[in-house]
Amino acid sequence: MNRTLITLCTYNERENIELLIPELLSTVPDICILVIDDNSPDGTGQYVDQLSESNPQIRIIHREGKLGLGTATVAGFQYGIEHQFELLINMDADFSHQPRHIPEMLSEIKKTDVVIGSRYVAGGGVVGWSLRRHLMSRTINLWARLLLGLRTRDNSGSFRCFRVPCLAMVDWSKTVSKGYAFQEEILYRLSRAGCSFSETPIRFEDRRFGTTKINMYEAMTAVIDILKMGYRRLLRQD
């Protein structure tokens, strides 16, 4: 039985998914792929349904609507825990995270609990971003390190490999954030649980199809959510 689960949270990602799933299966054949779809109007969920009928490695969770990245990610975690996978890789479904980096992450996880596909360590980088996007990302990462005590450099990306037993150590119902700050909160919760971290370089490339769902409102919401977590940390409420 495959013991590694790749989770993809989707909303209107059909064009990307049609190309990404075959590439994942080619790059790392011995995996299962779980798509958590928020009732995408473009038919992403229905397309994955068709794939899953002929390939047991492909699975899907249908949700009623656009319920947020944080809750979708937790749904993937819960699935991995309940089905007793050993490893879980979470990544974006739009090709900003390249499958070619996965073998290195699977090698690195042998030495630690959490591997971060990092844009901000030697060898990593970003392709196709505006100056504003760079500033937003760097600011959020600095904010997270200062307020949450994180030592890792890339805390806002979602390309990560986890040991599933470590995910099971956290009560994810207590999370504060539901949007993009959930990426920082994951690391914060796991660090509080005593998990170890490492970072391996990736080249982040802007999405292949569709438009980004990150905007200034989402960025400001993330800043506020991290502030809330930092305040709770100061008061030792977590």
What is the per-residue pLDDT across 191-213, written as a single tens digit (0 to 9) for each?
A: 999 999 999 999 998 766 555 55
Give CB contacts under 8 A, 24+ apart, made by 23-27.
23/99, 24/99, 24/102, 25/57, 26/99, 27/99, 27/100, 27/102, 27/103
CA–CA distance, 160 with 148 (Å, rounded to integer): 19
Of the pLDDT bands very low, low, confident and very high (cuts 50, 70, 90), residue 143 is confident
Residues 6+ apart with CB under 8 A from 170: 189, 190, 193
Q: Pairing relation of β-strands 160-163 and 87-91?
A: antiparallel
The per-residue pLDDT for 226 is 86
Mean pLDDT of 206-234: 71
